[in-house]
Structure 1
């Protein structure tokens, strides 16, 4: 007679049993099937993913929409300023007579590019520092983590405001390059990436500390594998889940931060549109044309919420302790 399992043993094996037998004693499921089942069980994450894909598609085809409408998103036409929606201008025009829909789509391109690029840059920096600190340990670990604590202690928004206000010509850039439209995007991405890596670094360090004690890592060390190979081939693939989740969750915050900097006039510089500087232009027209502030504000809100829900869904789907069959 088989002895009964203790509650601790039963709880520890519950995810494994769910993975092997499925929800109703069916055939074994692959890791990919388990991931998609859990993810699609998170309805808000699925809706958020659909919204973000649709938004990305619309922003990508902004030139096509601009061509089909027969408008120029940067053409100033003061005689048609603050016009209501029409066939040629589905969302009306702004305070300078420019098409609001087209500028929202181009602004979405900028905001999404900044969010994705800065999040990826932060993830790369945080992963390198975290995996190095966790694997080597000792004084190097202490030094890197104290440096991380110092960056966390910095007042991020005031620091970014100061750095964004730095005159790039004083750093050796030519005046033409410093005043170009694209340089403001690169500057914001670099600034946010340089201060936004701390969360990923802490997560990767903790996961690395756990992984380097596993048998397969010790076996690789015994076979003479180099430290970079062990970190990149054996440890990094096993700590990628928290990196994905943290990166996804950070995108919404980065978009919001870029919008704040652009709203303050220190982010994306006109005439290049972003949702933040569109809000800046609309703040003086809040009583005359409130929709000019509603449209970019609503898109910022929906995009940030969507990325947060998407991150929650990925966290549930990638968590090995998550309960199969989420309601």
Structure 2
């Protein structure tokens, strides 16, 4: 005669089935952090994965631009008048329009995306180096805006009182500025002053630094408002009260207790701010107050191509397509990250 409990054992003859059921239930209710939940959601989001892959490829192109251009064999600033076999590359009688290729763009086995009119510079090489310039300006401006906005927002929300009032009015003033007009007006002035006062040559490295600073300086106020609102809520939470009761100072509480809880918001805002600065750099270069010749940027290429769109439409198509894909990938990834970090998503 056997006991009833042995009849409910697992097929392997090990633990009872009810114990296995309790173990499985415990695994199902095992707690997960917000980061683990967000990562699990992102892995299931095909749009997020595709956007991340595109962004990584674009970053790789920017980092390894010199090596990629070596495959093509034409430096971005090199003027090309003839092909390797000595045949003319440009039609000098017709204003320097490329000869042959797709839609009269000069595309060939040597020049994969064609050449620029008048000077014959390789479009592929300039497009690759333009990726580096556009991303550097966008990343630099984003870092400046994130740092200033985060610090000002946390200080304003934590200390409140007259500090909050003063910094809130400063945010209102910054938000009231027509930032694009100020960037257009200040960028060439600061670049010229830097050359006159400090002896810095007015090259595009200086202009890139000025663009980063000006874009970041006029872009922090909106983030500071968001951070301030969340800091006002976080400063009343139990873990902050516990840290203060143990003698922690304001600096420790702000940067060790409150800042880690703001990281999801900062991550989402970063993914949305980078594409806006890429577009801003392209617009400023298109208007002639950003990157100048001979340095390549997508906005500079679009500006130059606007005069040749009828005779060489591909000259405008490739930088425009690169700008479109990059901005779209960052925006889609930002939306996916925001949805993944939303604790209310996926319920019901």
Q: What's 1:88 paired with?
A: 110
Residue 258 of structure 2 is aligned to residue 235 of structure 1: yes
1:236-315 to 2 correspondences below 5 Å: 236-315=259-338
CA apart distance, 1:180 = 2.0
- The correspondence for 1:125, drawn from 148, 160, 173, is 148
How many residues are paired up? 304
- The correspondence for 1:147, drawn from 167, 170, 177, is 170
Q: What's 1:211 paired with?
A: 234
Residues in 1 aligned to 2:62 and 2:261: alpha-carbon distance in whole angstroms: 34
Indicate how the Cα distance of structure 1 residues 296 and 209 shifts in structure 2: closer, same or farther if over 3 A, else same: same
CA apart distance, 1:187 = 0.6
Conserved? CA contact 1:259–1:276, under 8 Å: yes
Conserved? CA contact 2:62–2:135, under 8 Å: no
CA apart distance, 1:183 = 0.5
CA apart distance, 1:71 = 1.4
Q: Which runs of 5+ in 1 are unaligned?
A: 1-20
Greater relative contact order, per chain length (Cα 8 Å cut-off, separation 6+): 1
For normalisation by structure 2, the TM-score amounts to 0.82
Residues in 1 aligned to 2:311 and 2:195: alpha-carbon distance in whole angstroms: 44
Conserved? CA contact 2:282–2:297, under 8 Å: yes
For normalisation by structure 1, the TM-score amounts to 0.87
Conserved? CA contact 1:38–1:324, under 8 Å: no
Residues in 2 aligned to 1:282 and 1:260: alpha-carbon distance in whole angstroms: 14
Residue 47 of structure 2 is aligned to residue 44 of structure 1: yes
CA apart distance, 1:113 = 1.1
CA apart distance, 1:259 = 0.4
1:185-196 to 2 correspondences below 5 Å: 185-196=208-219
Residue 188 of structure 2 is aligned to residue 165 of structure 1: yes
Residue 57 of structure 2 is aligned to residue 54 of structure 1: yes
Deviates more, 1:189-198 or 1:178-187: 178-187
Residues in 2 aligned to 1:217 and 1:29: alpha-carbon distance in whole angstroms: 22
Residues in 2 aligned to 1:31 and 1:154: alpha-carbon distance in whole angstroms: 37
- The correspondence for 1:35, drawn from 21, 35, 38, is 38
- Higher-Rg structure is 2
